[in-house]
Every structure is written in structure tokens, then in C-alpha cells.
Amino acid sequence: MKKFKLLLACLLMAVSTALFAQNRQISGTVTDQNGEPVAGAYVLVKDTNVGATTDFNGAFRLSGVPASSSTLVISFMGMKTVEVPVAAQVSVVLESESEYLQETVVTALGITKSQKAIGYAATTVRNEDITASRNNDAVSALAGKVAGMQVSNSSTTAGAAQSVIIRGVSSIGRSNQPLYVIDGIPLQSVTVYNTQSGYGNLGAGIGSINSDDIETMTVLKGAAATALYGSRASGGVIVINTKSGKGKNRTQVTVNAGVQFSSVSTLPEFQDKWGTGWNGELTLDENGSWGPILNGQIREYGPIVNNSQMIKSFIAIPNNIRNFYETGVQYNTSVALQGGNETTGYYVSYSNVTDDGILPYDKDTYKKNTLSFRGNHQAYKWLSLESSINLTTQATDQVGQGSQNTSIIEGLYQSGRDISFIDAKDLTNVFNTPAGWYTPYGITNPYWLIENAYNHTDMKKVFGKVQANITPIQQLTLSYRYGFDYTDFDRKLTEAQIALPSTNPNASSTNMEGTVVASYGRYYETNHDFLANWSDQYVGGRLDINATVGANINERYSTTEAAQVTGLTFDTGFWDLSNTSKQPTASESQSKRRGVAIFGDFQFGWDDQVYLDITARNDWTSTLPIKNNSYFYPGATLSWLLTNTFDLSSTPLSFGKLRLAYGKTGNDPNVYQTTATYAQGSSGGYFGAGTALSFPFGGYNAFMKSATLASDSLQPEMTTEFEVGADLRFFNDRIGIDAAYYDRVSDMQIFSLPVDPATGYNTMVMNFGKVSNKGVELLLTTTPVRTRDFKWTVDFNWSKNHNKVVSLPEGLDGGKASITRDGWGDIYMYAEVGKPIGQLYATLPVKTDEGQFICDPKTGLPKQSSDLQDTGYNVQNDWVGGISTGLTYKNVSVSATLDIRHGGKIYSRTKSLLWFTGNSIETTYNERRAFIVPNSVLEDGNGGYVENTVPIDLYSGTFQYYFDGNTSNPIEGSACTLIDRSYTKLRNLTISYTLPEKWLKPVGIKGATLSAVGNNLFVWTPSSNPYIDPDQGFTTDLTGMLGEYFCTVPCRYLGFNVKVIF
Amino acid sequence: MKKIFTVLALAATLAATSCNDWLDINTNPNYISDADMSLLLPTVQLMTADKVGYDITLYGSFWAQYVTQCSTTNQYYTIMTYDVTNTSFNSPWSYFYSSVLPRIKEIIAKAEEAGNASNYILEAKSMLVYSLYMLTSLYDQVAYTEGYLTETRTPNFDSGQDMQKILIGLCEEIRTMDADAVAADEAMNLTTSSDMVFGGDTEAWFQFVNTLYLKILLRDFSANQSKISSLLAEDDFLAKDAAFDNFLDQADKSNPLYESDRRQLNTTNNIRCCSDVLNVLSASDPRLTYFYDNNPGGVVSGGPYGTSADPTETSRLALYATEPVYFGTVDEAGFLKAEAYARLGNAASAKTAYEAAVAAAFARVGASGAASFIAGDYAFTAGTAEAMVEQIINQKWASNVHGLPWESWFDLNRTGYPTRGTILTDSHGVLSEGYPQRFIYSKNSADYNPNSPTPVDVNVKMWWQK
């Protein structure tokens, strides 16, 4: 810090020395058309560095104006820039201009285009809007702000990978995630998936970026916008433009520091009337609340250890789970230094995030450090150089939230409502360890799990670029850019051993062998880009031509290795592969892909009215069959600025643009799908995971051919999109409407299509099937109040996507392809012709023609279909929307974002579990008294039906089965585990106060803002979902949309932040 | 000018060629592109052992009524109560077809191409007959002539009766192989390091096929009577167990049912003893304590089939990490011979074979004292063919608690023994009538192959069943 100050002092001295050499003084005022003063307008003496900003009264004062200068340039965002002759006293009137005309968008390959010339939907979010909420990753800040874009979490733990889907799911088998491009360089989105359930997937992609470094983020949605980025852009592109010292001649240090406290926001609603037990009986070692009514009696419970047993009152502890969690703390600090002169600019930043989550102690932590350097230098008039290098480290410690023994959430949710957890902290008490925990049914004390958890992941990322731009003549720029991204992870996932003697009642279900898994992955990507840009005006300046041709060479490589041991020698605390007497198992994997592309972008602008843009790209990729590895995709867009063609100044329309776009994007296959391979022989695991038997085996080694038939005729997936849109602003931009309609078809999906194994293969790789996405996106921006001191804006966005599987290959049963299923119940997710991707199938109750349930005469429970049936539900939302608002009164501003999703269903293991355990409020139906399933009949044995007279009751266990999501007995069949996906969430609320300049100036501070921030403050779900925040999946992308296996508890963040600029 | 064009054209060609070379990297470095037959045979045997030793043993053990589900857990409740769907039987179908049969086909093709490898052809074809026998015994209709042979995407299936003919044909084809030539090839082209069942003992492979052949012929005794007679006259059946005996007490290396039920599952209490076995075996039979753990009271006891058993009162099925998975046993061969002789009316030979079989069954599990039981409780009584068959099948059933439990389920369906209602608990589970006779056609097949057979319920009899 001391060095910073020294540097600062030196730079300040240099600037002030320059100022002393001048002499002339100018003062004046700047007002708008209404005579209101314009505060913050910038007044610059043309062709010099001398300038000043106006104060609250619109007044400015310039000193040291060189005698040779004759012109002043006055500019202000949203107003037309004017030039006036130099005079001792000037007064300037600025006319407002549609802000829009000035906006620029950084589009394909780092080319900056004027918003007006763009013929497709592109939404830009600026630094202030990204960083105000102090999220640790930039993409979370976009949630609810961009029409047609859905941001979801794979877990609420800090550092978890995000899933972003733009304009619906297009690909059944490939990624639907967007490509992130930072300053022209594609960012590798490395996701560290979890081999064991219950840990969030960790992301080393967009989450590795320091949000404070970002100047703008632009979301490019359609194929016409993204085509130039090539294969990975078929899911959209998020273009990130970072801050640089360019164009600034003042040294500036920005410090941004905050603290946020996290706490549990929503928990499922629990019943508090019935306590531990099963079948209505008091069995105080049960993992559920199907026992008698809680009556306050003192009872012994749990096993007898050393001739003693625990006792407690049989009463409900309503907040037993909430009390288990603690308040988490997150610190977020960043320092940035930027500056430069006319030829050189630089930007250096450091940031740190430290998060200790809501689990007790510090086993759920996240630490991120970033260091960035960016520089630019105009070496000669014809040569400029740019470089950037960024370094990120992330370290995550997690505690398993997964299934059974190692799961905290199971330990909590499977316990009776009368079990207290905070009393179980003392692990020296045998009753708080697996040996004495009150239940033998495979769960144990969450505190013991935390104490014995060690799951650590380190991730590093280094990325950046070197770029040279040569301008031999004014119209022509030749660029070469070398971009690189190196990402790696090192991780250890462990499980302590529990080896209770077989005489211990907890032994059979609680014992675990213990494992240590050590793994690492290294990923790199390099890009060489060659660009030639020609930009000139013809026909007396009426025809604008801007043409770029270029080439890209890309290589991506990854290597991963994992080694595992089981059966630990030291039960816990020693997490090394040597901690076993058994043979370790190891595996490795490498992949490499290369691509070459040439592309062109030709833009013609006529008279500032009509813009035509034609793009084309041809790719050659290593992942296609070598003889047929080339594919081409063109695009064209048209943009017409109505308000520049017609004089509409007498109408409310202050700006109007119509857009038309057509484009294609290819999506090449994954690596190594074109040739047959032999792998070391092994058979699949017993529960859908791992392996059961594998070579080497007793001195034998063996191989087997892949059961996936490779294809030597693969083609790329091809997405074709047509888009129309309008951008209209009224009443001096007080109201704006940006609307888009798109029709996107993704054809020739690459899929490992399941086939009858009788063919000799389980799957065949092939191109098949068509998916259509049609949708509407609306963005309404309003400024209800805009006065000198008070500004209020409200923006609404809404989008509806209609997704449909158009065709799948013949021979696929019922025209549907399986995507995934849940791990416990019987919920399957399909892509089915004529329906949106993600149609949900379940076993459903059998009904008579009159719609009555047919019950089993022994149990009184509805019979279930033996086959899977269409539930009529789908995982996709009907529509999504958002409202964001900003209020500014003098120095105080308030902003808030509401994220709304409506419709669709999500699989919830939490619901399934809370029904199974009798902890859910819904399991108190009919006060748990026996009842006959309403509207039900029994078969009379002669093909007819008689009234059902068999009640279901607690004591025979049938009442429980009625609520058992595991065995599919309720009246909804296994579909009972599907719940409404709708929610409304207050994503963010920020109140900030900008300190007056008069206080700061004397102490040498340029600006300071204090803010109070709140994130994920409230979530409202329909009454049918008293269980979870549906904004999560067990993994990212399409398969993750099925639902949650064990949702991490959602957190609410509240905190404070200080931003100071020196 | 022309020169420049030539140079440019040359440069362009060079660039295009070198570019394609640079892109020609789509060969997976993690796998090899081909594997020798000696590296494929162990895969065939391991994968077969995995499916036979896990899924098929589990279903066989329940449906032969050796075991019942524990009352405090419910892992196999649906198996016990016959509450199965077409998803229940995906795994054996898909493993036999995508892992075992294609490898067998490859081995045969590679052996034929290489020459002097008739030993590989013998071993691979024997595994082919065994796999097809298992598939048709479990599922009835099987894709063979259009399935594994042609790689059509939508194969038609062969009927059970046609499979019987195909199996007989394949057995006879193997039996006509020149045993001396095979032995000579084995000497030149050792399979000791790749044959995980017999370690390259080609004579044993012929005996395995003969035993299998007898078993297949017995499915239709009257039609095959003369073939059975001549096969018995040859008397060249298994003299040592066809056992996959390579398991270690390690994760992913142990007996599949042990690995799954005892090592991987979160509870090890699921599989309880069914009391039916005590209706055939004497309480003092030493094999009982090999078959089952003692209950908490220190004795072997079980509960009735179809009802969840109390773990505090019933024994658990004993499982061993290194117990082999059997494809055929010496005692099975003996019981098959005994049954054949009994059906031919030759009581004396039936008795000899029966007694040898019981002795082999004792020996297989390391139990002693067979002789006194053969003379005593398990003594063979000559009688009508049917009465002798009942004795033989009952004892065969009791010997296979560990061994070939699925064969006991097949025999139960084929012969009706041991009799339900007297020896076996009569339980229909969730079925409105009947008992499980077959596996339901795999969902993987039904979903993706329009020529997959029409679904048939689990309680519908196959052509060879009584």
C-alpha cells in the first residue's frame, strides 16, 4: 500500500507540474434545453489534456488553457456533444440525444460496433450493474436482468458452477452453455464435476473473473450474432470487455471492499406434532417422525452404550435444523490502479473473496484471489500493442451434502422432529459419534460429519493475450492476436472410515470403508487470430463500409488423472493415498482437439439509416471425420433507423430501429467419436455408478470394444435462426421497448442414440433429430421520474420460449430419447417428438374409465402402472421475467432486481425424503387418522368395480406408503416428487450513498460510495412447494434441469460495501 | 505470371495438406484401436461371471425360494414379490449383447483369420452356447440370427423353439471339432493366460459343452431321447467345475453378489434365509452352515417365502468375497445324468449318478460326511420315472443354494419340483396368478427396436415349462 501511495504521489506531481506551465483561465456554465444545470458534464480544451467537470450548478472553471487553443468540447452522456469557441466566460446549452445512438457494443472478435448498426438483439450490462450486488461471480449479477437468459446454480455453495441457458435448450446431447469471450479471447469453462454425490460442481470459468475488472458484458443471443465465434457459440455468447487504462490520462486507484453475512433463507416446512417412530409406534431409533404424538414425556432413546442410554423429553424442536446452521461471512475486497498517457495505458487489479459458509465451523469455505494486468501502447502511429494477463486461484472446502452416511442434509432431514442437533456438538460424548448415534439407519451426527470431512479443491487459471495492430494506411488495420487460457484443478475428496464392530447396532448401516480420491486436471487452450479490417466512407460520406476478414487457429487440450484407495488404515484425518492396505486404483484421460477457421464480416451502412451486415465462416475441425471435416455457415442482418429516415420529432418517438437477422451456427462433435476403441475390460457398477468388476483381475488383463458404435460419417449440428426485432424509444427515451421474435431450429443433433443391445451396441453415435425454439423477448425500460435531483427507472423484461422436439429418428420407441432419470424414484426425462425437451415420465396410478383409483384390496392403496407414463409435465418454465428498478435521489440510490420464473416442474428429492420420513407438513393429512383413499374402487374380480372399503392407516404402515415418494404409492404415482418450478426471487437490493465531493476533495479522494447490499433476500414459491428454492439442479445444463438430489440450503446474504476512488 | 500461379497453387495445396495433417488427431489416446483375441477372451468370461454372479444369482436365489427379504430393509422386496417391470432386466440383456456376444464373435473371426487357433474357437463357441442358453432360458425369444450376427439396427428375434434348434446345432458343431487338433493348437497357442475358467484345458471345455448339451436336450426329453441315450453312453461330462474362480477380497475384484450386497450396499442385512430349504436338507447337513450364517440364536433358521423376515430371528444368506461363479458344476452334471437315466427308466444308473452328484455337491462346498447322508436321509429310492425325477430335482435344488441357483428356478418351472405348497411356500407375490417363469423383455430392447417381441408377462410359461 505504501508503494501505491508513493506511485500516486509521483504521478500527481508530474501532472501538476504540467499544469503550472499554462496560464489562461476560463469559466462558464452548462445547462440543458429546459435551463436546468447539467452536473458532471465534461469540458475539454480541444487537442489538449486540459479539462474539468461541471459541479451541481453546472458551473466549471478551467485554468492553464494554452494560448494556442481556440475550441472547447463539452460532452455529457445522453446529450449531444458541442464545440464552442474559447472565451473567458461561456455558457453552453446541451441538447439531449437518444443515449442509444452513442452506445457501442463489443461484438464478434473484439470488434466494437455502434449499437445502431446491429441487426440482432444484444443486451449490454455495465460495470455498475454487475458489481453493485457484490456477487462473487459476474454472471449471477445478470440473473433477472436479460430477457431470454436463465441463470441457475448447481449448488448454493460459493464457487459452484453456474448454468446459463440463452433462448432455450437447443441441443439434446451437447452443451447449451454460452461461450464467454474476454477481450476477444474465448474463456475455458472448466467444470469440476463431482464423482461423489452431494458436492456442488465447481467452476473455473466465468467465476474466475474479478467482476470489478469488467467494463461491460454483452449477451449475444441469436445465431446471426454469434456465428463468427464458431462452434462453441451455438449456445450464445457473452462478450466481456474489461477495463483498461486507455484514453485516460489520470491515474486512479479504486478500492472496493465489503463484507456480507449469509444465513439460511428458506427451509422446508416441517410438521411438529408427531415424533420419532414408525407405524405410529414409539421406536426411538427411527429415522423419521411416524411415531406417536409428541407428548412431552421423558423417554430414553438410542442404543445402550457402556450400560448407559440417553434420555430426553418427547417434544418437538421446531427450529432444530435452522439452529444447526450458523451465520456465514464473506469478505470481498478489490484494489485497482489504472492510468497512462496518450500513448500508453495500464490497468492493474487485485481482488480477494473469502467466504465461510453457513455450516458450523470452517469446513465450507471458498477463497478466490485474482490478479490482472492489462496494458496498451501506441508504439508508432501505425503500430499499437495490447496485452493482458490474468491469474486466478480458487480454493474450496466442502462438506458432503449427498446420500446416506456422509450426508449432512440426510442426517438433518431424516431425523425425527424431536431430535436436537445443537446438543450433539460434543464429539467426546460417545452418543454423538457413529457408535452411539440414536439411529442405526445409515445416518449419523452432522457435527461428526463436519469434523471428519475433508474435501479440498484448488483451481488455478491463467489467461490473457498479446495483440498487435498495424495501420499501414488509415482505412486498413491488420491485427494479430495470441490468446491463451490455462486452467487446472487439484482435488482431494475423502470419506472417513466408520468401522464399528458388528455387535454395534449401528454397524450394518453406518459402516463405511472410507476413501481417498486424489485427482487433477490440466486444461489449456490457445488461439491465434489474424484480422484485417477495412473501414472507409464513400459516396460523399453516405456509404459506410466496414469489412473484416480473418482466420483463427485453435487448439484445446485436457488431461486428467485420478487415483483412489478404499479401506483406510487410519479412520480419519490422514488423507493420503498411502492410507490403506489395499491396492489403489488409478485412471487417466487425455483429449485434444484442433480447429482452423476463416471468416468474414462485411458491413454496409447507408446514410446513417440502413445497415446491412453479411457474415460467413468456414470451419475445419479435428473432431469430424478427416475426409469431411469442413463446414460453412453464413448470416446476414439488416438494421433500419426509422428516426434517421423520417423526421419524427413531432411524434413521441424519439428513436426507432427495426431489425432483421438470419444466421447459422455449426456445433462440432465431441472428440473421439469417429473411430472404434478398445478399453480395459470392466462392467458397470451396481447402482448406476462406478465399476463392479474391472481388469486387471487376478493377474489377467483384458480389453473390450466400446459399446458405442462410432460414426465415420458425422456432421456438425447446425442451428439456423431467423430473428426480427424493434427498438423504439418514446418521450425523450423515457420509455423504451426492445422486442424480439426468433425462430431457431437446431438440426442434425449429435447424439449417442440408445439402440437395442441385441445389435451388439448400447448406443450409436449419429446425427439425428431437430429441435425448434421459437420465442418472444420483451424489454420495457421506463423512467417515470427524471428531475434534477431525483431519477427513478423501472425496467421489465419478459420472455417466452416455445421449445419443441420436431423430429427424432424412426425406430426410437414412441419417438422419444431418454435424457436422464432421478436416482431414487421413478422419474425419467425425455426428448419426445412434438413436445418440449425435458418431458417427464413416471409411474402413475391406474384408474377406471370414470377416473377412479383402483386400489389394492390388501392395502387400500392405489395400484400403480407398471410402465412409465407421460405425466404431462415438463421441466421447462412457461415464461421467465424480471423487474429491476433504480431510484436516485441526490446522493442516495436504491436498486433492486426481481427474478421471476413461471411454470414447469422440478424433481425434488427433498420432498420425497420429507414424505418418506413423515417430517413434511403434508404428511399430517387427516391428522394421520385412517382413511379410505377418496374416489377409489376395488376390482370385483369379474371385470367390474366395487366401492373401496379398505382404509389406509398408520399402524399397518399403509398410511406411510401413501406418502412414500420412494415406492411410488401416492395418488400421483411417482410423479408426487415433481413440484412446481415457479418462483419469484428478490435477487438483490442495494442502497448506496455517494459522499459529497466537498467532503472528499480536501482529503484527496475523488469519490466514495457506501452501500448496503442484500442478495437472494426472499424467494416466494407456490403453496404447493413448501420444500425448496427451485433455482437449482444437481448438475449444470440440460440434465441438471431435472431437479435436485439433495439441495443445499439456500442462503440470504446481507452486508456492507465501501468503494473509494483516489 | 504463370510461375506465380504455380507457386501459389503449390503453396495452397501444401497448406491444405499440412492443415489436414495438423487436424488429423481424432484418435483417442486413452484407448487402443485393436485388441488381440487373447485380450478379449478374459473380458467374455469376466462379464459373463459378473452378470451370472450378480443379477442372475440374485433373481435365481429369490425365485428358487432359497432366500427372502429382510423386514427392516427393502432392497429386494420387489424381487421377492415378483413386482418387476421391463426395466428390471435391462442389465443382463445389455451386458450379454453389448459386451459378451460381440467379443465372442470377434474372437472367432480373429481365430479363423489367424489359423491354428481352434482352441480359441472352441472356448469362444462354448461361451457362445452358454450365453445363448442363458438368454433364451431367461427371456425366451432371443435375437440371434438377425441380431448379433448382422449388426442390423432393428433385429428380429428367434423364437424359443428355434433357439433350442440353434443351440443343439451349435453344440453338435462344437462336438464335431477335432479334439486332437484343438489340443495341438492349444500347445502352440496357449490360452493359459487368457482362459479364466479352465486355464486352457480343452478337454474340460468339450466336457462343459457335453454337459450343456445334455441340459438343453432334457428340455424336450421325448424329442431328444436317442441323442440323450448316446450322449449318456459317451459319458464325457464335467469332471471339474466350470468355475470363474479368480476373485479377491478387494473392492471391484470380489464375487459380484458379495461385492454388491455386502461391500457396496449401505446395509448388509437384506438377504435372509427362507425356511423352505429345511424341508429338504437335514438340520444336521454340514452344508447348511456354508449356505447360511447362523441366526442370532446360533442356528440356521429361516422365514416363509414372500414374507419379510425378521433379522433378529432368521439367518442371513452367507456370501463369500472369493466364492467362484459357476457356469456348470460336477454335481449338476451328475444330477442331469441321474435325471436322464430316471426318465429312460434306468433306476440303477440313475441311483449311481444321483449318489455321485450328492457327493460332488458336498465336496464342492468343502463339506464332509456325504456318504452317511446318501445312505441315510438322502437315500435314493427307485420308483416311477416321475418319482425318481422328483427325488433328483429336490436334491439338486438343495445343492444349489450356493452354485447354480438360477438352474433351480429353471428346474422348478420345467419339472414343478420341489413342489409348491408342500416343500416350497406357495407365494404369488403381487401376481394375480402363477409364478415367475421368465424375465420380461428388456426396456432397452422394447424402446429402441420396433422388432422387439410383444411384451409378455413374467408369469407366462415358456415352451419347455410345465
Closest CA to A227 of A108, A124, A147: A108
- Cα distance between residue B452 and residue A317, in whole Å: 56
Rounded CA-CA distance A353/A258 in Å is: 10
CA distance B80 to chain A (A): 15
Res. A194: pLDDT tops 70: no
Scanning A318-337 for CB atoms below 8 A from B yields: none
Does the structure show a pLDDT above 70 at A685?
Answer: no
pLDDT at A493 over 60: yes
Q: Is the pLDDT of residue A19 over 80?
A: no
* Angle formed by the axes of helices B385-399 and B347-364, nearest 10°: 10
Contact A756 B34 (CB under 8 A): no
Please report the residues numbered 713 through 772 in chain A whose beta carbons come closer than 8 angstroms to any beta carbon of chain B: 753-762, 764
pLDDT at residue A975 tops 80? yes
pLDDT of residue A205: 85
Write out pLDDT tens, residues A141-156: 888 888 888 888 766 6
Rounded to a whole number, what is the distance in Å from the CA of B68 to chain A's nearest CA? 18
Question: What phi and psi values does residue B266 have, to the nearest 5 degrees?
Answer: -80, -5
Instruction: Return the axis-axis angle of helices B221-234 and B202-218, rounded to nearest 10°.
Output: 150
B433-452 residues touching A, CB cutoff 8 A: 442, 444-450, 452
Mean pLDDT, to the nearest integer, of A445-473? 93
User: Which residues of A, range 557-576, sit inside 8 Å of B by Cβ?
Assistant: 566-567
pLDDT (mean) for A1021-1028: 92
Q: Supply the DSSP symbol for A788.
A: S
Residue B269 forms contact with A (CB below 8 Å): yes
Rounded CA-CA distance A962/A920 in Å is 13
User: How far apart (Å, rounded) are the C-alpha atoms in residues A926 and A219?
Assistant: 51
* A686 touching chain B per CB within 8 A: yes
Distance in angstroms (rounded) separating the CA atoms of residues B47 and B56 = 12
Q: Given the C-alpha cell 415433481, which residue does it identify?
A: A978
Digit-coded pLDDT (tens) for A57-87 = 788 888 878 878 888 888 776 677 788 888 8
Grid coordinates of B96? 450379454
pLDDT reported for residue A100: 52
pLDDT of residue A1: 45
- Does the structure show a pLDDT above 50 at A4? no
Q: How many C-beta atoms surround the C-beta of residue A772 within 10 A? A: 18
Neighbour count for residue A926 (Cβ, 10 Å): 9
How much is the pLDDT for A545?
92
**Which residue among A583, A585, A760 sits closest to B102, beta carbon to beta carbon?**
A760
Cα–Cα distance for residue pair B257/B253, rounded to 1 Å: 11
Q: Does A263 have pLDDT greater than 90?
A: yes
pLDDT at A967 over 70: no
Mean pLDDT value of segment A405-425: 88
- Contact state of A684 with B91 under an 8 Å Cβ cutoff: yes
Instruction: Name residue, grid cell 420464473.
Output: A901
Mean pLDDT of A514-525: 93
State the burial class of residue A976 (Cβ atoms within 10 Å of its Cβ: 0-12, 13-18, 19+): buried
- Residue A575: band (very low, low, confident or very high) from pLDDT cuts 50, 70, 90: very high
Could you give the percent of chain A with pLDDT greater than 90? 44
CB contact under 8 A, A758 and B30: no
Cβ–Cβ gap A583/B46 under 8 Å:
no
Residue at grid coordinates 460326511: B369
Strands (E) in B76-177, as ranges, are: none
Mean pLDDT (chain A) is 86
Q: What is the pLDDT of residue B359?
A: 97
In which band, very low, low, confident or very high, does the pLDDT at A965 lie, cut at 50, 70 and 90? low
Give contacts of B448 with chain A, Cβ < 8 Å.
753-756, 811-813
Q: Distance from A619 to chain B by nearest Cα, in Å?
A: 11
3-state secondary structure at position A270: strand
What are the extents of the domains in chain B? 37-249+323-428
Say if CB B98 and CB A707 are below 8 A apart: yes
Split at pLDDT 50, 70, 90, the class of A356 is very high
Give yes or no for a contact between A945 and A860, defined as CB atoms under 8 angstroms apart: no
pLDDT the model gives residue A810: 66
pLDDT of A823 above 80:
no
* Size of chain B in residues: 466
Is the Cβ of B26 closer than 8 Å to some Cβ of chain A? yes
| Range from A21-35, A202-216, A344-358, B388-402 carrying the lowest mean pLDDT | A21-35
User: Where does B37-249+323-428 sit in CATH, by number?
Assistant: 1.25.40.390
pTM for the predicted model, two decimal places: 0.79
| pLDDT of residue A2 exceeding 50 | no
> Domain segments of chain A: what residues?
22-97, 139-262+328-400+453-678+718-807+876-904+983-1061
C-beta separation of A74 from A91 below 8 A: no
pLDDT digits (tens, 9 = 90+) for A773-791: 999 999 999 999 988 889 9
CA-based nearest distance B332→chain A, Å: 27
Residue with the larger pLDDT of the pair A326 and A32: A326
Highest-confidence range of A365-379, A747-761, B139-153, by mean pLDDT? Answer: A365-379
A7 CB-contact burial (10 Å; exposed 0-12 / middle 13-18 / buried 19+): middle
Is A695 in Cβ contact with B46 (below 8 Å)? yes
Mean pLDDT value of segment A250-269: 91
Are residues B23 and A698, on separate chains, in Cβ contact within 8 Å? Answer: no
End-to-end CA distance of chain B: 92
pLDDT in tens, A788-803: 889 999 999 999 999 9
Specify burial of residue A42 (Cβ count, 10 A radius: 0-12, 13-18, 19+): middle
d(CA A878, CA A800): 7
Question: What CATH number labels A139-262+328-400+453-678+718-807+876-904+983-1061?
Answer: 2.40.170.20
Q: Would an 8 Å CB–CB cutoff place B151 in contact with chain A?
A: yes
- Which residue of B23, B25, B147 is in closest CB contact with A596? B23
Determine contact: A630 vs chain B, CB below 8 A: no
A508 touches chain B (CB under 8 A): yes
Q: Which of B50, B77, B142, B82 is nearest to B409 (CA)?
A: B82
Contact between chains at A681 and B85 (C-beta distance less than 8 A)? no
Q: pLDDT class for A403, splitting at 50, 70, 90? A: low
Q: Is A434 an 8 Å CB contact of chain B?
A: no
> Can you give the pLDDT at residue A18?
43
What is the complex's ipTM, to 2 decimals?
0.86
CATH class of A22-97: mainly beta
Average pLDDT for A625-640:
92
pLDDT by position in tens, chain B (length 466): 567 667 666 666 666 667 788 888 888 888 887 888 999 999 999 999 999 999 999 999 999 999 999 998 888 999 999 999 888 898 899 889 988 999 999 999 999 999 899 999 999 999 999 999 999 999 999 999 987 766 677 899 999 999 999 999 999 999 999 999 999 999 887 777 789 999 999 999 999 999 999 999 999 999 999 999 999 999 999 999 999 999 998 878 899 999 889 888 878 889 999 999 999 999 999 999 999 999 888 899 999 999 999 999 999 999 999 999 999 999 999 999 999 999 999 999 999 999 999 999 999 999 999 999 999 999 999 999 999 999 999 999 999 999 999 999 999 999 999 999 999 999 999 999 999 999 999 988 888 888 999 999 999 999 999 8
The pLDDT of A562-588, averaged and rounded, is 91
Tell me how far apart the 2 most distant CA atoms of chain A are, in Å.
111
pLDDT of residue B418: 97
